[in-house]
Structure 1
Amino acid sequence: MKKIFKNIYLTPRFFVLHFSIVGLFVFAYFFPTLYGITKLLVLLLIVFLLFDLLLLFRNNTGIQATRILPDKLSNGDDNEIEIKVVNRFSFTTKIKIIDELPIQWQLRDFKIESLLNSSEEKKFTYQVRPTERGEYHFGNLNIFSTSVLGLASRRQQFSAEAMVPNYPSFLQLKKYDFIAFTNRLKLYGLKKIRRIGHTMEFEQIKDYVSGDDVRNINWKATAKRGNLMVNQFQDEKSQPVYSVIDKGRVMKMPFEQLSLLDYAINATLVISNIALKKHDKAGMFTFSRKVEDRVVAQRRSAQMNLLLETLYNVKTDFSESDFSRLYVDVKRYIKQRSLLLLYTNFETLDALHRQLPYLQAIAKTHLLVIIFFKNTELESFLHKKASTTHQIFEKTIAEKFIYEKKLIVNELQKYGIQTILTAPEDLTVNTINKYLEIKARGLL
């Protein structure tokens, strides 16, 4: 009996009727003829309430519900959660679903409402977007059922506690894994780059077409055929590609609730997969006060799982990054010339100049690509109309910071260092473009 009382919830309809009757009692004080009618209404309300409770609780089963969760969540993406509900009542019931979501989302008003006919089964789906790697704990599933009378509702609580880990964006990985090897690249903003081999490993002689390197013209074959013929060489393969992630304080800045660090982690997962599919070796490491999370660049079947687990477990206190330690570690452990994709962020030229000697030293022995971020919030702020002197001053400061980003690009290029200045949401696409460009031009 105690269990039944704990699951009874009176509805707003009951309270509206209840307070209406209270109002009638007040009027009955001035008009005594209303007193008898009001007492009858009280009796009717109690009878209908008891009948409503009988409808809801005479069936032990009532509603059946289960929540279907994915094995893991994809960070920064929309993940679909499914709830399956079956009505075992003999009448049509209105249900309200309240799911106990993980505390990371701070959703206190989540609910799904619907009508279910007798014996009807329905599937409800909703999407969630996690923005922090780690464990997400789901609680119980609560279903509130109401009959046609709608005076009370019955709560049924289904034990559905579960933990789902939130991994770096494997949904993004699957998307680019497919489009990077099809003709749909342009649809996603990826450049279609003509790949030209530059090694001495001969592949074939073919007809010259516009864009071929004239240095590869085979004059003997040209004389025999009467048409220009060129030697075609195979691309370099098994080249080390390292993603180097700065996990210092400059990577803490959030855009669309996702930190720059997590944008870099998602991009690392995608570019590593593409590098492996392009027959290169993929590896990674992170750094702040010291170099950590090292995965040696290799090409093997278990490499992606190793990278995924390592990226999932990247932790940081966002302290000041030490680029001198980065240089020492690169010099000590990476002996073969490699492509280093360095994800970091510079807001001012002074910040760059403090680290420039170390970047130049790394670029002497490796192909270094500095990837840093536009401040998209500043750019959107510039499009707002300034109506006061204070707003004009703020827009001037914002323009200065945006212009300084362009100066940083010019400064790096002056020293022969490849750069990518990108909006956080375009990071993955622009990184893939740069990798394909480097492979096509044979820069590594």
Structure 2
Amino acid sequence: MKEFFKHTYLNFRFFLVAITFVALFILAYIFPGLLSIVTILFFVALGLVAVDLILLFKQKGIKASRLLPEKLSNGDDNPIDIKITNLYNYKVDLLLIDELPFQYQKRDFEIKTNLNPAEQKKITYTLRPLERGEYYFGNLNLYVNSPIGLVTRRFQFAKDAMVPNYPSFLQLRKYMLMAFSNKLLEYGLKKIRRIGHTMEFEQIKDYVPGDDIRNINWKATAKRNQLMVNQFQDERSQPIYSVIDKGRAMKMPFDGLSLLDYAINATLVISNVALKKQDKAGMFTFSRKVDNKVVAERRPSQMNKILETLYNVSTDFVESDFSRLYIDIKRNITQRSLLLLYTNFETLDALHRQLPYLQAIAKNHLLVVIFFENTELYKLTNITAESTFDIFQKTIAEKFVYEKKLIVNELQKHGIQSILTAPENLTINTINKYLEIKARGLI
């Protein structure tokens, strides 16, 4: 009986009928001749309520299940499927309320639908998580109305489900699919003719304009009576390290995701691309100290190791120690490597404090400093100033935007390559830079 009352709700239609009968009984008090008719109608209404309860509780009713992925992809739209089967022998109206993880703070999520007798329906909605970690789903609640619609019965399914939210593996799959389908150009990735310059010989081929004349094979040219060039295999198995600054500067959010999460998603993709290009992929993070290390290797399990390491990375809200980073790199990375450093500098003074350490790292490795445009400031620079305050805001915003460009020039002046990118374009621009470096044979 307790369960019966726990899962039974009175609808708006029920209260509307109840208010109507209150008004009718008041009217019957004034006009006694109406009392018998109103009484009959009242018992008819009670009978309809009883019939409604019997229709809802006599049969098995509704069967439903929530189909969750093994893990969620951070910053992407993840589909959640709900399968519902109507076991009633009549059409029902449904209100679906799924108890979403607390990270969304959404208390008004509901989906309305209806099902014909014995009909099965799949309902899909998407979730875009913005924080890595564990996401707990609550009950899947279904509120069912019969055609009478006076009473609602509640069904509950899929209690207490947990799904971990990992860095964006959906983005990783997207770039892999684009690579195999030759659609990279549509997303801004450069198509670069890549010719190796190592001493590992590959073949002799006809000379075409653009080939390096230093590779002309004069003996083959004399035999064929036309220019022939040597072609060498491209450099492979080079260490590619993603170095992620997890200090407080990387906590700044854009479009819901922090700069740290953008860097983590890009690291996952570039590591996969590097492994596909026969290079070794590794990573580590730093702030007060260097940790979360994954040594650059080409093992089949390397991507899974990087993914699991990135899952646990979080900012510690302190000022990052670049001197500690330099010492650790000098001590532990002995082979010349490509270091993709994800960090953020807002002012030229902030760069100058760390520049000696960046220069020291760049002496032994190819260092690429990747930092971020403040897209909110860009919006301010494009507004039409209508007041003194607007002029002040626009001027300050333009100053900070210009200072970012000065940071790029300062790094270039000291022989350090850099990428200044909007957060949403980070992955594309990082892959472009990697392909450019490989094509130019800089490592």
Answer yes or no: same fold by TM over 0.5.
yes
Alpha-carbon deviations, 1:225-280, whole Å to 9, x = none? 33332211111111000000000011001111111101111111111111111111
Cα distance change on mapping 1:31 and 1:391 into 2, 3 Å: farther
- 1:202 is paired with a residue whose SS is strand
Is 1:122 aligned with 2:117?
no
- 1:224 is paired with a residue whose SS is helix
- 1:295 is paired with a residue whose SS is strand
Q: Unaligned stretches of 5+ in structure 1? A: none
Range 287-296 or range 99-108, more displaced: 99-108
2:3 counterpart letter in structure 1:
K
Aligned to 1:55: 55
The whole-number CA distance in structure 2 between the counterparts of 1:55 and 1:309 is 51
- 1:314 is paired with a residue whose SS is coil
Preserved CA contact (<8 Å) 1:323 1:358: yes
Structure 1 residue 27, shift from structure 2 partner: 5.1
Preserved CA contact (<8 Å) 2:260 2:315: no
The whole-number CA distance in structure 2 between the counterparts of 1:360 and 1:199 is 27
Preserved CA contact (<8 Å) 1:73 1:165: yes
- 1:144 is paired with a residue whose SS is strand
Cα distance change on mapping 1:309 and 1:35 into 2, 3 Å: same
1:6 counterpart letter in structure 2:
K
Alpha-carbon deviations, 1:274-303, whole Å to 9, x = none? 111111111100000100101111111111
Structure 1 residue 357, shift from structure 2 partner: 0.5
Aligned to 1:136: 135
Cα distance change on mapping 1:226 and 1:8 into 2, 3 Å: same
Cα distance change on mapping 1:208 and 1:33 into 2, 3 Å: farther
The whole-number CA distance in structure 2 between the counterparts of 1:405 and 1:296 is 32
Aligned to 2:22: 22
1:315 counterpart letter in structure 2:
S
2:376 counterpart letter in structure 1:
E
Range 287-296 or range 157-166, more displaced: 157-166
The whole-number CA distance in structure 2 between the counterparts of 1:12 and 1:383 is 51
The whole-number CA distance in structure 1 between the counterparts of 2:215 and 2:33 is 110
Alpha-carbon deviations, 1:107-156, whole Å to 9, x = none? 11111111111111111111111111111111111111100111111001
The whole-number CA distance in structure 1 between the counterparts of 2:342 and 2:356 is 17
Preserved CA contact (<8 Å) 1:66 1:160: no
- 1:199 is paired with a residue whose SS is strand
- 2:335 is paired with a residue whose SS is coil
Cα distance change on mapping 1:392 and 1:42 into 2, 3 Å: farther
Preserved CA contact (<8 Å) 2:189 2:432: yes
Aligned to 1:165: 164
Is 1:290 aligned with 2:285?
no
Structure 1 residue 366, shift from structure 2 partner: 0.3
Structure 1 residue 181, shift from structure 2 partner: 4.7
Cα distance change on mapping 1:51 and 1:372 into 2, 3 Å: same
Q: Percent identity?
A: 70
Q: Structure 2-normalised TM-score?
A: 0.96
Cα distance change on mapping 1:374 and 1:37 into 2, 3 Å: farther
The whole-number CA distance in structure 1 between the counterparts of 2:112 and 2:64 is 14
Structure 1 residue 380, shift from structure 2 partner: 2.5
Preserved CA contact (<8 Å) 2:248 2:315: no
Structure 1 residue 199, shift from structure 2 partner: 1.0
- 1:124 is paired with a residue whose SS is strand
The whole-number CA distance in structure 1 between the counterparts of 2:51 and 2:385 is 64
Aligned to 1:234: 233
Aligned to 1:410: 409
Structure 1 residue 210, shift from structure 2 partner: 2.7
RMSD (Å) for aligned C-alpha atoms: 1.6
Structure 1 residue 28, shift from structure 2 partner: 5.3
Is 1:303 aligned with 2:296?
no
- 1:201 is paired with a residue whose SS is strand
2:130 counterpart letter in structure 1:
T
Is 1:317 aligned with 2:327?
no
1:253 counterpart letter in structure 2:
M
Preserved CA contact (<8 Å) 2:13 2:150: yes
The whole-number CA distance in structure 1 between the counterparts of 2:44 and 2:321 is 77
Preserved CA contact (<8 Å) 1:208 1:229: yes
Aligned to 2:6: 6
Q: How does 1:346-385 map to 2 (within 5 A)?
A: 346-385=345-384
1:138 counterpart letter in structure 2:
F
Preserved CA contact (<8 Å) 2:68 2:81: yes
Preserved CA contact (<8 Å) 2:62 2:85: yes
Cα distance change on mapping 1:388 and 1:41 into 2, 3 Å: farther
The whole-number CA distance in structure 2 between the counterparts of 1:382 and 1:429 is 25
Q: Unaligned stretches of 5+ in structure 2? A: none
Q: How does 1:260-271 map to 2 (within 5 A)?
A: 260-271=259-270
Aligned to 1:68: 67
Q: Structure 1-normalised TM-score?
A: 0.96
The whole-number CA distance in structure 2 between the counterparts of 1:377 and 1:29 is 69
The whole-number CA distance in structure 1 between the counterparts of 2:143 and 2:73 is 30
> How many corresponding residue pairs?
443
Preserved CA contact (<8 Å) 2:66 2:158: no
Structure 1 residue 38, shift from structure 2 partner: 4.3
Structure 1 residue 39, shift from structure 2 partner: 4.1
Structure 1 residue 397, shift from structure 2 partner: 1.1
- 2:319 is paired with a residue whose SS is coil
Range 167-176 or range 208-217, more displaced: 208-217
1:8 counterpart letter in structure 2:
T
2:276 counterpart letter in structure 1:
K
Structure 1 residue 183, shift from structure 2 partner: 2.4
Aligned to 1:112: 111
1:139 counterpart letter in structure 2:
G
The whole-number CA distance in structure 1 between the counterparts of 2:401 and 2:359 is 24
Preserved CA contact (<8 Å) 1:179 1:185: yes
Aligned to 2:248: 249
Structure 1 residue 194, shift from structure 2 partner: 1.1
The whole-number CA distance in structure 2 between the counterparts of 1:135 and 1:109 is 22
Q: How does 1:396-407 map to 2 (within 5 A)?
A: 396-407=395-406
Preserved CA contact (<8 Å) 1:371 1:419: yes
Structure 1 residue 180, shift from structure 2 partner: 3.0
Range 335-344 or range 109-118, more displaced: 109-118
The whole-number CA distance in structure 2 between the counterparts of 1:181 and 1:168 is 22
Is 1:434 aligned with 2:433?
yes
Preserved CA contact (<8 Å) 1:180 1:274: no
